């Protein structure tokens, strides 16, 4: 008595072996006793496998791929086709994480029909939901996407696609009026149907107020510890990206240094003649070599 039945145990294992749906994520508020959500970016199959095996809840195929992988100075250069390419690579790894695809700049800014068409391309590539930036001005597009049965993750605070309007990558909502507008935007997005909200680069106390004000989870990046979840870029948390290190990044590994040391070892061994060794080379029988008639 009191022991878990075999059926329940199997059910638990089945739930653990699949990704969370958007409705399941929507119910994951910390105040209801749920653990914080963990979201990590991933842009290809190898990183998706790592993130999945590490037990993350969500993979964000972010437009940050433009800077982190493709070498651009900002996210504005990425296209829907670029994003679909990387979403498909992530999906082919069959990660046990909810896959969210960023809608890139100008893919949801013009009209509702084009917005749905672009989002559908990302869903067909393997995403389970899409993320778009902005507050109240995006409500019409969000409502149209949800009407088309496409789950939406909102994103407010610092919105990198608004780089030129914001005057750079700056902490947002530091003043009372801006903080009030952020809370209002969060409520509007939640009311419009977003299943969760990303809060980027806002003061911790403001993020805490937003988190308490909405019934959907908040996922913070540079937004303090009171959000319902946290997200970091794969290359940042593993110490692969060293060019820019935001204050909110914590390195859990130093793969950049390890990778350079590994490649340097290979280069040195090639130049010294130590690679490849006999054990790393293929051979043929003396009889077959003699049959070539080359000696």
Catalytic residues, by residue number, are: 200
Going from the C-alpha of 197 to that of each of 30, 151, 223, the distances in angstroms are: 14, 12, 12
């Amino acid at each position: 008595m009191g022991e878990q039945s075999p059926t329940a145990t199997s059910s638990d294992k089945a739930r653990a072996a699949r990704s969370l749906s958007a409705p399941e994520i929507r119910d994951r508020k910390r105040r209801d006793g749920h653990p914080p959500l963990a979201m990590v970016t991933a842009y290809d199959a190898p990183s998706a496998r790592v993130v999945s095996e590490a037990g993350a809840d969500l993979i964000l195929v972010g437009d940050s791929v433009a800077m982190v992988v493709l070498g651009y100075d900002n996210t504005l250069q990425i296209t829907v086709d670029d994003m679909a390419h990387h979403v498909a690579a992530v999906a082919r790894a069959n990660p046990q994480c909810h896959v969210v695809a960023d809608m890139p700049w100008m893919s949801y800014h013009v009209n509702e029909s084009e917005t749905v068409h672009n989002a559908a391309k990302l869903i067909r590539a393997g995403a389970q939901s899409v993320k778009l930036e902005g507050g109240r001005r995006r409500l019409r597009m969000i409502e149209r996407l949800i009407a088309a049965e496409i789950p939406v993750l909102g994103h407010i605070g610092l919105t990198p696609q608004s780089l030129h309007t914001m005057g750079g990558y700056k902490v947002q909502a530091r003043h009372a009026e801006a903080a009030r507008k952020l809370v209002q935007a969060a409520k509007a997005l939640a009311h419009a149907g977003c299943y969760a909200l990303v809060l980027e680069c806002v003061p911790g106390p403001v993020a805490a107020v937003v988190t308490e004000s909405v019934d959907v989870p908040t996922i913070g990046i540079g937004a303090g510890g009171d959000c319902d979840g946290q997200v970091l870029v794969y290359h940042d948390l593993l110490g692969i990206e060293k060019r820019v290190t935001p204050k909110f990044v914590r390195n859990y590994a130093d793969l950049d240094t390890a990778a350079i040391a590994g490649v340097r070892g290979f280069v040195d061994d090639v130049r010294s003649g130590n690679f490849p060794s006999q054990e790393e080379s293929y051979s043929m029988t003396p009889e077959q070599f003699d049959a070539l008639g080359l000696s």
